[in-house]
Structure 1
Amino acid sequence: MTRNDVARLAGTSPAVVSYVINNGPRPVSESARRRVLAAVEELGYRPNAVARSLRSRRSWTIGLIASDSAGGKSPFFGQFTRACEEVAWQRGYSVLFGNSAEDPARAESYVRSFLGRQVDGLVLMRVPVSPEWAEEMRGRIPVVTIDHEAPPFFSRLAVDDEEGGYQATRHLLGHGHTRIGFVGGPLDITPVELRAAGWRRALLEAGANPGAIAEGELSLEGGYDAALRLLSSPDRPTAVFASIDDQAIGAMRAAADLGLRVPGDVAVAGFDGAREAAYTVPGLTTISQPIAEMARHATETLVGAIESDAAEPVTKIFSAALVTRGSCGCPEPRLHR
């Protein structure tokens, strides 16, 4: 299998195939790029990666470290990593994944391992960055952080977590609720802390006392356990805002086990915009993050920095959108296939 075979199937010249595979040196139209990539996939063509790396002085790999890469604690991680990998593949890069399991030492070990494998850049998803190894990476490879504070020489992308928490709580207040509890992960996790701040701000603006906070793991089980405690209290809230959708789904099950109707006895809202939120009964009202757009922007930002020595760090904050369903008392939309 040769580059000429790919060119014949794609209806292009071998030079165009080379430009696509090597991301240059000449630009290629998007339609030609798609045809070449489709031909590469169909034929199973594999260029000589070692020769390619020697020519370009790149490894054509990106390291991605997440605090939960499998998405077990939040669907956000699984959807983000999948979208990131897709964009990287389109640009000719492979992705190495690492799950830090919320352990800073394990995250640093992955960073050092990926640096040893000469990755061209790093994406860090909700991974805290110590000043020591941040300085070690400075000027060495480009880094993009997702949903976490970062030094100014790293690019940073995040969703407006506080505004999202504020929107969700304002919506529950609009349904007449004044006792709104918060089910969240450990409050030292930056996105959770900011979502709780938005919840608190909305309640204070409305003249309502901030309700009780029940902390739990960022998981279905964590949401269930935290909501069980919250909804079993004598002055239980009439609405619950959860820091992620999985926790909100766990809270809905906890309400059912306590004999409470959603939304009749307790309204529930979440945060993430997970696909599963549309399939609960009732459907889950949520703050939806533009996950695919964030992943695309993160990967394009990183590739741009890899391929341009003059690229400046980028900071971009994305807006989140309220999606209403039956769990808060809004009309339940039909699912259209």
Structure 2
Amino acid sequence: MVTRNDVAKLAGTSPAVVSYVINNGPRPVSESARQRVLAAVAELGYRPNAVARSLRARRSWTIGVIASDSAGGTSPFFGQFTRACEEVAWQRGYSVLLGNSAEDPARAESYLRSFLERQVDGLVLMRVPVAAERAEEMRRVPVVTIDHQAPPFFSRLAVDDEEGGYQATRHLLEHGHRRIGYVAGPLDVTPVELRAAGWRRALREAGAEPGPLAEGALSLEGGYDVAYRLLSSGPRPTALFASIDDQAIGAMRAAADLGLRVPQDVAVAGFDGAREAAYTVPGLTTISQPIEAIARHATETLVGAIESDAGDPLTKIFSATLVTRGSCGCPEPRLRQG
């Protein structure tokens, strides 16, 4: 087995210098010495003992990411978010343990317990509620939560869900719609309720009665089922705002199956800014949230807390942007010019 001493001998350095290069510190190493060590590592095929390294540093160089996706890992938001987290973690020298709680509190609790037992250095939780007693146990590691109410000792990042719901509904009102339904996910999910609050606020300001609201799964199928119910019973809404883009896409299919044209008979708007929204026919108008920017900021915040072992928890709210396409009645942009 190749040892650190073997690498030091070939590189013409001390074993301590080899350690500084491999661990990126704690002492600086000249660039020429660093390159000699790296060349020796490559030539000898040296692999540091990760377990021993973790014990010495009291760090596992792993973070846990638990995201909630009722679509079984197929949601565009879920994929974009977790990929961006993993990319930042990899650049900073951390591995990622990933769990999908699938909107199941018991499953989320199982992942939390498992990751903590594996001595992760920190956690990113996307739409995962944490019981008060479990939160107290988690004080020993930094935690960043996304889109959920959190204890004051967790950092929290979120998009301005209420303002996004307001923007989407206001835009549909500007197209002349007065009966706007809400294709909702479960209202006990914080972002869904906040988007509903924005929907209600826009209707109230316009003097319009709240349209019908129905809850369903946060998925294509859930959106289809809810929209089918809303559109097949009277009085029928002339526009629908969905709590996520997947639901909005499902709603467009429900309209088609009922013989309704989008946007002539019913306008549709969603929330998330998923890439797929540009490829529906017509293109889906949506509130676009900076998914990858949120994920990158969350992971950088977590790694910073891990490595500094200090700092107060932070709260940061990101703005969302209205992206108009044909589903609301706006001109349909071309994906490719010429």
Structure 1 99/72 Cα, relative in aligned 2: closer, same or farther at 3 Å?
A: closer
Does residue 222 (structure 1) correspond to residue 222 (structure 2)? The answer is yes
Aligned-partner SS, 1:332: coil
- Find the counterpart in structure 2 of residue 89 from structure 1: 90
Contact between 2:70 and 2:218, CA under 8 Å: does it hold in 1? Answer: no
Does residue 275 (structure 1) correspond to residue 241 (structure 2)? The answer is no
- Find the counterpart in structure 1 of residue 78 from structure 2: 77
My pick for the range that moved more, 15-24 or 160-169, is 15-24
Structure 1 19/179 Cα, relative in aligned 2: closer, same or farther at 3 Å?
A: farther
CA distance in 2, matches of 1:98, 1:220: 21
CA distance in 2, matches of 1:292, 1:221: 25
Mapping for residues 1-337 of structure 1, pairs under 5 Å: 22-25=23-26, 47-68=48-69, 72=73, 74-138=75-139, 140-336=140-336
Contact between 1:216 and 1:225, CA under 8 Å: does it hold in 2? Answer: yes
Q: CA deviation at 1:176?
A: 0.7
Which residue identity is paired with 2:158?
A: A
Q: CA deviation at 1:51?
A: 3.6
Contact between 1:67 and 1:100, CA under 8 Å: does it hold in 2? Answer: yes
Q: CA deviation at 1:112?
A: 1.3
Structure 1 55/192 Cα, relative in aligned 2: closer, same or farther at 3 Å?
A: same
- Find the counterpart in structure 1 of residue 12 from structure 2: none
Which residue identity is paired with 1:89?
A: W
CA distance in 1, matches of 2:17, 2:174: 57
- Find the counterpart in structure 2 of residue 7 from structure 1: none
Q: CA deviation at 1:25?
A: 3.3
Which residue identity is paired with 1:268?
A: V
Q: CA deviation at 1:74?
A: 3.3
Contact between 2:20 and 2:28, CA under 8 Å: does it hold in 1? Answer: yes
TM-score (norm 2): 0.87
Q: Give the count of matched residue pairs.
A: 319
Q: CA deviation at 1:2?
A: 10
Structure 1 294/268 Cα, relative in aligned 2: closer, same or farther at 3 Å?
A: same
Runs of 4+ in 1 over 3 A off after TM superposition: 14-28, 44-48, 69-74
Contact between 2:71 and 2:219, CA under 8 Å: does it hold in 1? Answer: no
Structure 1 320/111 Cα, relative in aligned 2: closer, same or farther at 3 Å?
A: same
Structure 1 21/145 Cα, relative in aligned 2: closer, same or farther at 3 Å?
A: farther
CA distance in 2, matches of 1:172, 1:318: 23
